[in-house]
Amino acid sequence: MIEQSIDGMDVYRGKKYVKIDAQAGYKNLYRSLVDMDSLPPLDRTVLEKMEPYKSACLNMAVRNYSLYVGNYYEIEREYFDHVRYWNYILDCYAVDLVFMSVIPHCMWEYVIYALAKCRGIRTLLVSATAIPGLNIVGTSIETMGSNTIRIFQRDGELKETDLHDIVTGYYHKANQKDINLLFQGRKENPLNDKYLYRTYYRPLILKTLGDVRSPSKLAADLEILGSVIKQKCTAKSIGYYNKRAVKRPGQEAFVYFALQVTPEMSTLPWAGAFQNQLLSIRLLAGGLEKKGIRLYVKEHYYQPAVRPKSYYDELFSIPNVVCIKTDVEAYELINDCVAVASQTGSCILEAIVKKKPALTFVKSFWNCLQNVYLIDREEDVENAIDKISRGQASVSDDERKRFMLAIEHSMVRQNLDLFENPQIGTEMAGDDICDLLKQYTAADCDNDFCYERG
């Protein structure tokens, strides 16, 4: 059992568990837990099986402050430490099931998931959705929410469940003007600057000073350091984006693409090959231009200061893209657009509620409906626009109602981080997770597993 308690107040009943502090993974503190030199070396079998997951693991290094300024050797060494330690743990305790309460999106978490897949250990995941307190279910990152689709498509009537009030509550709120449900009531954190200094700038300073070439050249090194710090402090601002972005430019046909917060699990690893949103934007912009439709892109208003200036420069340079200021209401853009586009963002569900088509880059529970199009290539964009133009993308009220009922039948209650819902207590969430685990362990194999509320 890996504990991620912030305040240390979590209570675990009974003695049938071995607790490992998550900080050991975040900060690579395994040497305080075991003698790493005594662990078995990694052999060819493990290394080759992990190779398909390695690039995603290394990309996740940006989430860890100690690796943000690391070179390739340091990042790879951290990766191998994670693999060695967790491979040892899986062996030592003969682990036969890995359950994760979130899509793994830090390197050490993703290593555990990848090792389980490589070793044939069964995996079960739940992860938060745009509906506060409700989580989708999957036996892999690629199958998250697939049970919703199966329940939606089967024959027979779907009746209301004990989640009905939560789902309908979201539905009604998403139809209101203020649809920023997950961040509603949040204020800018006054400690944000201190966090950025501690997380990014201070490690950069310490690392650079540690790499000083010689005392006699310290002044020159400090000058270089100063310029690097200035660049990082001034070039990573959402203000730079807003200075170049525009308000609504006019009455033209457009598809609305809502940039997602990064780095986050919604893009890395969930978006897979399209984890870089600029790739999705280029693909969409090209296909839409052939149909005479613009692509409006809006930065997430809560995006932390971690996108470099070069990211925005590339975004503004993409043909057929119009960047919209962050203070323009998403509500208006969704209402007026031809379609909404996103990797995995909450705007997909908001579009469904508002009877708008959606273009997505990940197949999940929203692909129940015929007006949600999975995009793999430019031709998919053109085909989707053709169907929308011919009126083939409409979804009846009955289908939309069935979709919301399928959500009720296929999700579990859980409160983590921003997705807190005062209606859901610890006991409710615990009951749901226990029921989920019982159903999963009773299933013969992952391919046959389809969780449904009891």
231-265 pLDDT per residue, tens? 655 545 688 899 999 998 788 999 999 999 887 89
Query: Half-sphere exposure (CA, 13 Å, Cβ side) for 360?
Result: 28
Question: Residue 183 — pLDDT band, cuts 50, 70, 90?
Answer: very low
Q: Specify whether the CB–CB gap between 257 and 297 falls below 8 A.
A: yes
Compute the distance between CA of residue 361 and CA of residue 270 in angstroms, rounded to an integer.
Answer: 10
Q: For 97-101, 197-201, 250-254, 267-271, which range has the lowest pLDDT when averaged over its residues?
A: 197-201
Nearest alpha-carbon partner for 52 in 361, 274, 275, 273: 273
Instruction: Identify the three-state secondary structure at position 369.
Output: coil
Q: Tens digit of pLDDT for each residue in 49-71?
A: 999 999 999 999 876 544 355 67
What is the 8-class DSSP label of residue 373?
A: E
Query: Is a pLDDT exceeding 50 seen at residue 453?
Result: yes
pLDDT at 273 exceeding the cut of 90: yes
pLDDT reading at 182 higher than 60:
no
Contact 362, 277 (CB under 8 A): no
> Residue 363 corresponds to which amino acid?
K
So what's the pLDDT on residue 153?
Answer: 96
Q: Which residues of 384-393 are buried (b: 16+ CB within 10 A; e: fewer)?
A: bbebbeeeeb
Distances (CA, A) of 23 to 19, 67, 294, 420: 12, 15, 45, 23
Does 13 or 87 have the greater pLDDT score?
A: 87
* Band (406; pLDDT cuts 50, 70, 90): very high
Contact 283, 308 (CB under 8 A): no
Of all residues in the chain, the percent with pLDDT exceeding 90 is 64
What is the phi/psi pair of residue 423, to 5°? -75, -20
CB atoms within 10 A of CB 11: 6
- Residue 95: per-residue pLDDT: 96
DSSP letters spanning 119-153: HT-EEEEEEE-SSTTEEEEESSGGGTTHHHHHHHH
Question: What pLDDT shows up at residue 249?
Answer: 79
Cβ–Cβ under 8 Å, residues 377 and 283:
yes
Query: DSSP 3-state assignment of 413?
Result: strand
Query: Given a cut of 70, is residue 6 above it in pLDDT?
Result: no
Backbone angles phi, psi at 99, to 5 degrees: -110, 130
| Residue reference for tokens 């690796």 | 67
pLDDT score recorded for residue 186: 46
- Provide the pLDDT confidence category of residue 334 given band limits of 50, 70 and 90: very high
| CA–CA gap between residue 373 and residue 362 (Å, rounded) | 10
> Which domains occur in the chain, in start order?
2-162+170-174+413-448 (no CATH), 192-234 (no CATH), 239-405 (3.40.50.2000)
Q: How far is CA 429 from CA 4, 50, 135, 211, 436, in A?
A: 17, 33, 10, 49, 11
pLDDT attached to residue 12: 66
What does the pLDDT average to over 200-219?
66
Q: Quick check: 7 pLDDT over 60?
A: no
pLDDT at 417: 52
Distance CA 446, CA 397 (A): 33
Residue 225 has pLDDT above 90, yes or no: no
What is the pLDDT averaged over residues 204-231? 66
Counting Cβ atoms within 10 Å, is residue 135 exposed (0-12), middle (13-18) or buried (19+)? buried
pTM: 0.87
For 249, half-sphere exposure in the C-beta direction (CA atoms, 13 angstrom radius) is 15
The answer to whether residue 387 scores a pLDDT higher than 70 is: yes
Higher-scoring residue by pLDDT: 41, 213: 41
39-43, 66-70, 304-308: range with lowest mean pLDDT: 66-70
Average pLDDT (204-219) is 65
- Terminal C-alpha separation, the chain: 26
Three-state SS at 186 = coil
> Which tokens is 257 given?
């693409």
CB atoms within 10 A of CB 378: 17
HSE-CB for 11 with a 13 A CA cutoff: 3
Give percent of the chain with pLDDT exceeding 70: 80
* pLDDT surpassing 80 at residue 227: no
Average pLDDT of the chain, as a whole number: 87
pLDDT of res. 195: 58
Going by C-alpha positions, the residue among 402, 412, 449, 408 that lies closest to residue 153 is: 402
Residue 181 has pLDDT above 80, yes or no: no
Q: Which residue has the higher pLDDT, 303 or 111?
A: 111
Average pLDDT, integer, range 397-425: 84
Is a pLDDT exceeding 50 seen at residue 187?
Answer: no
- The Cα-based distances of 213 to 108, 208, 221, 285 in angstroms read 33, 10, 8, 47
